[in-house]
Amino acid sequence: MWPFSTSYPTKTPQQLNAEYDYIIVGGGTGGCVLARRLAEDSSCSVLVIERGDARDIWLDRFPLPSTHHWSDRKHSMVLEADMLGPRRTSRINAMQYSRGAPGEYNAWAQAGRKGWSYQELLPYFERAECLYNPVTKGHYGTEGIIIQGSQKAGFAYGKDVSDPKLPTSGCFLIHHTIDLSGNRHSTFRAFLPMEFVLAHDQNLHLCVNTVARKIETEQLADGNLRATGVVVQSMTPGTASVFVKTRREVILCSGALRTPQVLMLSGIGPEKHLRDMGIPVVHNLEGVGSNLQDHMGAGIDLQCSLEHSLYVLVRPPWYLLYQLLRYFIFGDGWFLTSLVEVCILTCERWLDADSGQKPLGEKDKDASLPENIPDIEIMTSSVCDWRFPEFDRTRGGFTMLAAPLRPFSRGTLRLRSSDPLEQPVVNLNYLADVRDRTNLRAGIRLCMRIVREMENGGYPVGYFKAPRSLDDDALDAFVDGHSQSFLHYSSTCRMAPRDDPEPGVVDDELRVHGFTNLRIADASVFPQIPAAHLQAPVVAVTEKCADMTKATWKA
């Protein structure tokens, strides 16, 4: 235990073996899962290349302070773009864990993705999950004012946002990746704990603070390409690069912002863009870096009772110490919490003229149908913009965030230069499709309806950062001034045919088109951004990738 912990075993590029069976580029949410599953076979050697570090002190495990918004930002990499935050990993995310509706994955199967229906993915969700401490009053409020307000607006209450038997519309409690001791349980801690890495020090190596400069390739007699290895370089400027060979596969797990960058640096991507960057074209693949999607939304900030807001931690000051003691002694209190505990999900077509929930028909309640995938999420958080001039510091504050879950807009990611240490050029292209703006307006109106129900119930809500009216122009002005990214970047290397109208990059086995041994297993492969928080879908995809990879080499 900190501060007496043994140093986590890592290697520098110069200490690596010349060759490994598997090279995993990216040690984030998916990379840690994949490394564990492949390294469980001690006869296989596995290398993980990660830009970040392997620090695991108590500050990284403390649920609330380790979230990106509160952390020291050492594990956040902020890129230059409007509303663009860090690459989201399970070490700094808000710990929400939701699978998404079964219809999400059934839509993939209906589009031709063999092996990707909900029933086929269910074993991979279940293999990674260990649910404990079901909803109790000790950890969750089940009669809170927001739940009551949403029920009055017509939304049924559900204890489990991932229950496939429940309708996709309702007010739900969210599961979080917190362990029995009250610590953040990232995939790094869950899948690559110290004891596992030490027990597999002969066949699993982790190389941190290191980037992949490029993937080296060779052409085979049948015209396909093969990845021969990866050129790696320390993040320290001026250090020499090292080439590491692969006997079997290279698997990219660097996320929707970094994976396409690595591919393009390797000459794999849109031909014209690569030539413009002065990079020799190895494989023309138009879909690389295209179809970028994210969940974004607008936050309404409201006053509330002080005891219902995280603002209570700084007013009065002694309360902060009290909550710290509660966390360390009893394992409960404010510091055990996430930023979001409750969400409201629905479809825009199910809202009535007053933004309430219409009665659902039996077909509407079937979560397995793709047409019932929710397209609006309302997230509630006990934090708000306390710096806002109109905020009353004698009271607390909370936020309601409205987000379109099925955006039609598409952005792009392109190289800024051939230097892997330079940030890529990101165009998120939010709300470019008018349908997304219409959907977001509906979400904000739903927020205001729930708030109105809270007021009608006698709760003292105060408005200090909210739209002045609910007409389209006022809502658009509010959105333009108060929107934010949810950091759910996805679909830049989507799983689809190469000649799809939105060109695909990987096949149903997650192999890059035209390659025999280059795969991708992260959020970039989603055919469309899931109507969920992305941690659970990424873990399931990576678990399935591990099985497909092992099956290939066993055969």
Residue 121: per-residue pLDDT: 97
Task: Give kind and range of the element (H or E) at residue 232.
Answer: strand 225-234
In angstroms, the CA 471 to CA 445 distance is 9
Q: Which of 87, 28, 32 is nearest to 543 (CA)?
A: 32
Q: Are 378 and 450 in contact (CB under 8 A)?
A: yes
269 φ/ψ angles, rounded to the nearest 5 degrees: 160, -165
Question: What's the DSSP call for residue 93?
Answer: S
Whether omega before 316 lies within 30 degrees of 0, making that bond cis, reads yes
Write out the catalytic residue numbers: 488, 533
Query: Domain ranges in the chain?
Result: 6-553
**In the beta sheet, which residues pair with residue 227?**
217
What does pTM read for this prediction? 0.90
Single-letter code of the amino acid located at 63:
P
In angstroms, the CA 203 to CA 22 distance is 10
Beta strand ranges found along 444-530 (DSSP E): 462-465, 483-485, 518-520
Q: Are 264 and 495 in contact (CB under 8 A)?
A: no
Single-letter code of the amino acid located at 132:
Y
Q: Are strands 204-207 and 46-49 parallel, antiparallel or unpaired?
A: parallel
In angstroms, the CA 225 to CA 228 distance is 9
DSSP string, 389-451: TT--TTSEEEEEEEEESS----BEEE-SSS-TTSPPEEE--TT-SHHHHHHHHHHHHHHHHHH
C-alpha dist (Å) from residue 305 to 225, 302, 309, 392, 467: 62, 10, 7, 11, 21
Q: Which of 402, 400, 391, 395 is nearest to 309 (CA)?
A: 395
Whether 239 has a binding-site annotation, put simply, is: no
In angstroms, the CA 520 to CA 260 distance is 10
In angstroms, the CA 29 to CA 211 distance is 17
Task: Give kind and range of the element (H or E) at residue 279.
Answer: none
Beta strand ranges found along 26-146 (DSSP E): 46-49, 96-97
**In the beta sheet, which residues pair with residue 506?**
495, 512
C-alpha dist (Å) from residue 11 to 210, 250, 535: 10, 19, 27
Pick the CATH number of 6-553 from 3.90.79.10, 3.50.50.60, 3.90.660.20, 3.40.50.620: 3.50.50.60
In angstroms, the CA 499 to CA 504 distance is 7
Each residue's pLDDT tens digit in the chain (555 positions)?
Answer: 333 345 789 999 999 999 999 999 999 889 999 999 999 999 999 999 998 876 666 666 665 555 555 444 455 555 555 444 445 565 556 677 888 999 999 999 999 999 999 999 999 999 977 766 544 343 444 457 888 889 999 999 988 888 999 999 999 888 876 766 667 767 778 888 899 999 999 999 999 999 999 999 999 999 999 999 999 999 887 788 999 999 999 999 999 999 999 999 999 999 999 999 999 999 999 999 999 999 999 999 999 888 888 788 777 777 778 777 877 777 777 666 667 778 899 999 999 999 999 999 999 999 999 999 999 999 988 888 888 888 888 898 888 999 999 999 999 999 999 999 999 999 999 999 999 999 999 999 999 999 999 999 999 898 889 998 999 999 999 999 999 888 899 999 999 999 999 999 999 999 999 999 999 999 999 999 999 999 999 999 999 999 999 999 997
Q: Which two tokens stand for residue 268?
A: 């794999």
Q: Which of 26, 451, 516 is nearest to 224 (CA)?
A: 516
Q: End-to-end CA distance of the chain: give it in Å, rounded.
A: 43
In angstroms, the CA 289 to CA 255 distance is 11
Single-letter code of the amino acid located at 424:
P
Whether omega before 3 lies within 30 degrees of 0, making that bond cis, reads yes
In angstroms, the CA 200 to CA 198 distance is 5
**In the beta sheet, which residues pair with residue 342?**
173, 380
Three-state DSSP state, 62? coil
Residue 79: per-residue pLDDT: 53
Q: How many other CB atoms sit within 10 Å of the CB of residue 202?
A: 8
Look at the block and give the residue holding tokens 């390797």.
266
In angstroms, the CA 356 to CA 348 distance is 10
Q: Contacts from 134-138 at CB under 8 Å and sequence distance 24+? A: 134/159, 135/159, 135/173, 138/332
Q: Which of 112, 170, 163 is nearest to 135 (CA)?
A: 163
In angstroms, the CA 356 to CA 151 distance is 10
Single-letter code of the amino acid located at 230:
V
